[in-house]
Chains A and B, each alone.
Chain A
């Protein structure tokens, strides 16, 4: 079954009878999709004042107290907050058992009163529940899913399977306790979530980097945490990058492992047909003594993409760092590195395609 038929059969199923149960075996069995093209891009409705944002923990755990800086600020933006049952729950490193996390996320998907789902934090755990989630409600009533790091699993999954846009951004655990003391980059990053959800056209300019490769590219913006992307390979959540702008970031990996992951991208055909490459922050784990890898991240990437000609930019403000701007995932963007700077802007519907 191709994805289009699969999608329509899902819709037919749900229209014909009661909502499917918690599990959608058909979803797990669906073949990994090839491109985002077969059915139209789903852009969830942008948020209006008074809309409700649900907060849930599909991966790591967080306390109610820890999300308060986020809820207070978001409420000051004019949105309502619905705190999910998993906030405050803890099962070892997880925000509740697999069952609890899946149930909470499912409730957020199915609740028509929720306009966006903000994941409270990353950590690890989305792969435990992704195949249990029933996305029929999300397709019928699209809503923004927000997060990064381990949440890359969700962003990749809904892009590949439903061509649905999402927001790659900071989460509740990155909101400062005292907003007045937030560093400018952090405050700007958090405010960009509001701008993205409100439907503003996003545009970011990164500090010029001498190793940027000049060029102009247009394509859907996809990517996320590099290690997470690697471990989705071969699964129904795997992304296809052909014709797209790929952004990657990571934290806590050895240089040799970063090298190996870029080779993996190369060997799985994820680098050769890119429109452009955006390299975000990489917090590198120091080499063990005697195992010095010598190369830098910039050298690793430059070596891997030297046979291609698309634009490449480094140190883009996305990643496990203070400056981590909201990116509209799965939405067409333009990457312009022609003057050494890198400008990543959401493609306006009014702008004609690049020649």
Chain B
């Protein structure tokens, strides 16, 4: 396992959009804030570029820019402006050889889950599952979640707490942290970017999915042997999950509880990792300790 060098004042953070389109003004507060934190910011052309469609640029444009930032020794971290959809289309064309020699931080979540799982599965280099540019808006820059990104980049060790949940399963677990967006993890199954969960603490979140589809993806993980040998499970937010006209008959929490009912590792629900504001920065690949008691849940690096 290798951890990229933590950032110092004066280091450069690049902001790119390797997936969906993001208007430049949506990232303005993020850029200002990173500067007040003492970093230089390099803004990629894919942020607010000339694209008139779903993507922030053509596959070639997104790939070329990401590759430049990855290879540029003057860039210490790459913060993705937003997710959306698009990394699948370029991930196999990214050349990680320079990155492997000189790792740097790659930060983001949602579609960026593809980068996290691909890099950890193939190169064992730590990345950062974290808020992105949009999270800085509307006062977000001051909240503990965006601040957790700053702390993570600074090298502070993570120590997070969350509120108890009636479905939690108590216990303590230690293991490397892997995970991200459930839809993307399901979508990476069978590919070279597939996640390996044995002996790990797995965290999951998602947005806008139907309950039956969440159920189906969890059964896929289970049937492909990704849930049976976990050290622990951290369930984040399932923001704006939808139900079919005929109700599925179980909440997302109940679905998850039932799918993992036969295992005995500790599980916590409602951890602040999500498409909502509650979204702590998590270092993928770093060993963490998850401690769940009836009163308190802690996740510590």
Contact = CB atoms under 8 A, between A and B. Distances in A.
Interface of A: 28, 91-93, 124, 127-128, 131, 230-238, 256, 259-260, 263-264, 267-268, 287, 291-294
A263 B89 contact: yes
A232 B223 CA distance: 8
B244 to A, nearest CB: 6
Nearest to A228: B216
Contacts of B226: 234
Interface string B27-56: 000000000000000000000000001100
Interface in B214-255: 215-217, 219-220, 223-226, 244, 246-250
Nearest to B245: A93
Contact of A260 (B88, B92, B194, B220): B88
B53 A234 contact: no
B190 interface: yes
Given A127-B219, A234-B224, A267-B192, 18 more contacts: A92-B250, A93-B244, A124-B212, A231-B216, A232-B220, A233-B220, A233-B224, A234-B220, A234-B226, A235-B224, A256-B54, A259-B85, A260-B187, A263-B88, A264-B88, A267-B190, A268-B190, A291-B54
A291 B85 CA distance: 10
Given A256-B85, A260-B187, A294-B54, A235 B220 contact: yes
Contact of A293 (B53, B186, B194, B212): B53
Contacts of B249: 91-93
Interface in B183-230: 186-187, 189-194, 212, 215-217, 219-220, 223-226
A93 B247 contact: yes
Contacts of B217: 231
A42 to B, nearest CB: 23
Contacts of B223: 28, 127, 131, 234-237
Nearest to B59: A303
Interface size class of B (residues with CB under 8 A): 20 to 34
B190 A234 contact: yes
Instruction: Classify the secondary structure of A's interface with B.
Output: loop
Interface string B55-92: 00000000000000000000000000000010011001
A93 B224 contact: no
Contacts of A238: 190
A271 to B, nearest CB: 12
Contacts of A259: 85, 89
A34 to B, nearest CB: 13
B212 A231 contact: no
A293 B54 contact: yes
Given A127-B216, A234-B224, A292-B53, A92 B248 contact: yes
Contacts of A236: 223
A128 B218 CA distance: 11
B189 A233 contact: yes
A231 B220 CA distance: 6
Contacts of B247: 92-93
A287 B53 CA distance: 12
Given A92-B248, A231-B186, A233-B224, A264 B191 contact: yes
A260 B85 CA distance: 8
A55 to B, nearest CB: 21
A294 B187 CA distance: 22
Contacts of B193: 267
A294 B54 CA distance: 7
Interface in B243-273: 244, 246-250
A169 B178 CA distance: 41
A339 B53 CA distance: 35
A232 B221 CA distance: 9
Contacts of B215: 124
Contact of A127 (B186, B191, B220, B244): B220
A128 B215 CA distance: 9
A294 B194 CA distance: 29
Nearest to B85: A256
A292 B54 contact: yes
A236 B225 CA distance: 10
Nearest to A125: B212
